[in-house]
């Protein structure tokens, strides 16, 4: 047996996901199919909990997985059982967190342009509201008055890392300090200080702490150190204006590198990331040092983290089966292996020539490659998923597994060509359960509305050209 990662292994020709043969899952549940491993998710979560708890003894460490990365209610219920909070964006995700059984006080309602409805819902639930603008503070005050209950808020900061010149892995020509200022999220620093008088002593507002989220601009420790330090320095400026205030929570958001380090969306790839344990140590040390710099003790401060890709990325695979193989032997010899999946289910698009996924011939893993093929997806796009790659002789029904699809892939699937989107299965040991149904064609058209005048038998208008 050959181990690939915590949940995947090879036995002879076969890929196994925990105790189950991938090709059997494909047969039983149908393809294309997303498959998640419960034991892998539990394992990753434990790594986050241990890595940060080992270095932040001052207070609680609370893991608040980002709902957007893996928005499945069953997964959320599992994370809730494992005492996680939840970062949500918008009313849909907030509802998902509620259905997923998250302790309401540990839901963090993030995102820009929150309206009065979501703020009221968050106040009624007793959730944390992460403010993105002065307007949201006013909405909180108004809604808290109406609800007769204080709004529990964090201020989302936009720290400026003045001395940091490191460039972004997303856009290598730009510096991270510029991008974190350029991108919309967070309260503009110039507006932040002007909000404080409305918070100070306001019975409708309970200022719990501060929040930052940088995103996966870099895996370098110096970037995390600067980010945390400048967050705390800005928090120090807030504390100076609110002398009786002490933060209960510092939330440093997500943006941690995935364990597989095979992200599909960053331009700069392939350099070694420090381990999560090393990053955790750097973050906690920087936090402690910066707090000392502003004359504040960390004692009792809860450290919140919102991993998305880092937590979920390598817990999932995408299974697809060969639909057909076409051969051209004239002009330009070529073989096309037509898969039943698509770039539109995989959050990629355009003429990629190489989809950014590792893959395994899941029932032919030990077979010697004998062909050079293009593996293509099923829509009317060119769908060059894997261009001129080595393969064993493949036939209709063979299964291919794309790895590291546990985060941000399933929620980005679209209905191009009126294709129903794939369902998801959760594997735990030798057990597999459908946790999101395959979409049906009826569901694809379920939002269409036919005005009365276009209903009934079609009455064809006489053509001018006839
Ligand atoms: C506020 C917030 N927290 C956490 C995350 C998760 O980020 P990642 O998946 O990079 O860890 C995001 C992603 O956009 C976010 O906006």
- Specify the CATH number for 64-307; select among 3.20.20.10, 3.50.50.60, 3.40.50.20, 3.90.1150.10: 3.20.20.10
Question: Ligand 1 pocket: which residues have CB below 6 Å?
Answer: 66, 69, 87, 110, 213, 215-216, 253-256, 306-310
- pLDDT band of residue 208 (cuts 50, 70, 90) is very high
Is residue 411's pLDDT more than 80? yes
For residue 69, the CA-to-ligand 1 centroid distance in Å is 8
- The reply to whether omega before 32 is within 30° of 0 (cis) is yes
Alpha helices of 16-89 — where are they, by DSSP H? 22-29, 38-53, 73-81
* CA–CA dist 405, 314 (Å, integer): 7
CA 138/CA 143 separation, integer angstroms: 9
Residue of the CA atom closest to atom 14 of ligand 1: 215
CB crowding 159-170: b at 16 or more within 10 Å, else e: bebeebeebbbb
Q: How high is the pLDDT of residue 264?
A: 66
Residues in the chain: 466
**Stated pTM of the model:** 0.96
Ligand 1 atom with least separation from CA of 87:
3
Contact 131, 156 (CB under 8 A): yes
Neighbouring residues of 180: CB distance < 8 A, sequence distance ≥ 6? 158, 159, 160, 161, 214, 217
Closest ligand 1 atom to 211 CA: 1
Calculate Rg over the CA atoms of the chain. Answer: 25
pLDDT tens column, 134-193: 999 999 999 999 999 999 999 999 999 999 898 998 888 999 999 999 999 999 999 999
As a whole number of angstroms, the distance between CA 416 and CA 321 comes to 19
- Mean pLDDT over all residues of the chain? 95
Q: Where in the chain is the domain with CATH 3.20.20.10?
A: 64-307
Q: Distance, CA 310 to ligand 1 centroid (Å)?
A: 10
**Residue 273 confidence (pLDDT):** 82
Write out the two tokens for 197: 């008088």
Closest ligand 1 atom to Cα of 308? 9
Q: Which pLDDT band holds residue 260 (cuts at 50, 70, 90)? A: confident
Query: Measured in angstroms, how far is the CA atom of residue 213 from the centroid of ligand 1?
Result: 7
The 10s digit of each residue's pLDDT in 63-116 is: 999 999 999 999 999 999 999 999 999 999 999 999 999 999 999 999 988 999
What's the mean pLDDT in 374-389?
A: 95
Q: What is the mean pLDDT of residues 357-380?
A: 97
CATH 2.40.37.10 residue ranges for the chain: 2-35+314-444
HSE-CB for 39 with a 13 A CA cutoff? 14
Cα separation of 198 and 183, whole Å?
26
Burial of 300 per CB tally in 10 Å (0-12, 13-18, 19+): exposed
Protein residue closest via CA to atom 9 of ligand 1:
308
407 Cα–ligand 1 center, Å: 11
CATH of 2-35+314-444, one of 3.20.20.370, 2.40.37.10, 1.20.120.1200, 3.30.1490.100: 2.40.37.10
């Amino acid at each position: 047996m050959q181990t690939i990662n915590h949940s995947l292994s090879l036995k002879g020709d076969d890929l196994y996901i925990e105790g189950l043969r991938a090709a059997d899952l494909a047969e039983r549940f149908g393809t294309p199919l997303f498959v998640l491993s419960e034991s892998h998710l539990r394992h990753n979560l434990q790594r986050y909990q241990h890595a940060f708890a080992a270095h932040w003894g001052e207070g609680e460490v609370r893991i608040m997985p980002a709902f957007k990365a893996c928005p499945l209610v069953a997964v959320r219920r599992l994370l809730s059982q494992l005492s996680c909070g939840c970062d949500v964006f918008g009313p849909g995700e907030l509802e998902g967190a509620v259905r997923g059984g998250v302790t309401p006080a540990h839901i963090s309602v993030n995102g820009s342009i929150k309206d009065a409805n979501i703020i009221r819902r968050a106040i009624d639930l007793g959730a944390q509201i992460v403010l993105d603008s002065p307007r949201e503070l006013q909405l909180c005050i108004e809604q808290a008055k109406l609800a007769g209950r204080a709004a529990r808020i964090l201020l989302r900061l936009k720290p400026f890392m003045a001395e940091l010149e490191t460039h972004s892995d997303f856009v290598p020509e730009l510096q991270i300090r510029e991008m974190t200022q350029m991108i919309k999220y967070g309260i503009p620093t110039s507006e932040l200080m002007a909000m404080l008088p409305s918070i100070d002593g306001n019975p409708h507002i309970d200022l719990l702490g501060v929040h930052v989220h940088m995103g996966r601009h870099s895996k370098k420790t110096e970037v995390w150190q600067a980010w945390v330090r400048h967050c705390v320095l800005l928090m120090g400026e807030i504390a100076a204006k609110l002398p009786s205030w002490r933060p209960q929570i510092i939330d440093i958001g997500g943006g941690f590198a995935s364990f597989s380090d095979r992200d599909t969306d960053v331009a700069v790839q392939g350099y070694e990331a420090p381990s999560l344990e090393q990053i955790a140590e750097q973050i906690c040390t920087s936090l402690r040092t910066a707090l000392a710099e502003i004359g504040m003790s960390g004692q009792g401060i809860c450290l919140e983290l919102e991993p998305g890709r880092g937590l979920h990325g390598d817990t999932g695979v995408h299974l697809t089966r060969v639909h057909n193989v076409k051969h051209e032997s004239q002009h330009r010899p070529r073989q096309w292996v037509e898969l039943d999946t698509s770039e539109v289910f995989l959050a990629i698009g355009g003429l990629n020539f190489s989809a950014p996924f590792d893959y395994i011939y899941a029932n032919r893993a030990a077979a010697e490659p004998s062909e050079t093929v293009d593996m293509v997806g099923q829509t009317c796009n060119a769908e060059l998923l894997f261009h001129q790659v080595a393969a064993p002789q493949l036939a209709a029904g063979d299964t291919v597994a794309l790895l590291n699809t546990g985060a941000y892939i399933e929620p980005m699937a679209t209905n191009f060509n009126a294709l129903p989107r794939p369902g998801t299965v959760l594997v735990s040991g030798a057990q597999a359960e459908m946790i999101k149904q395959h979409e049906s064609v009826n569901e694809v058209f379920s939002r269409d509305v036919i005005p009365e005048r276009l209903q009934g038998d079609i009455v064809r208008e006489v053509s001018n050209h006839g």
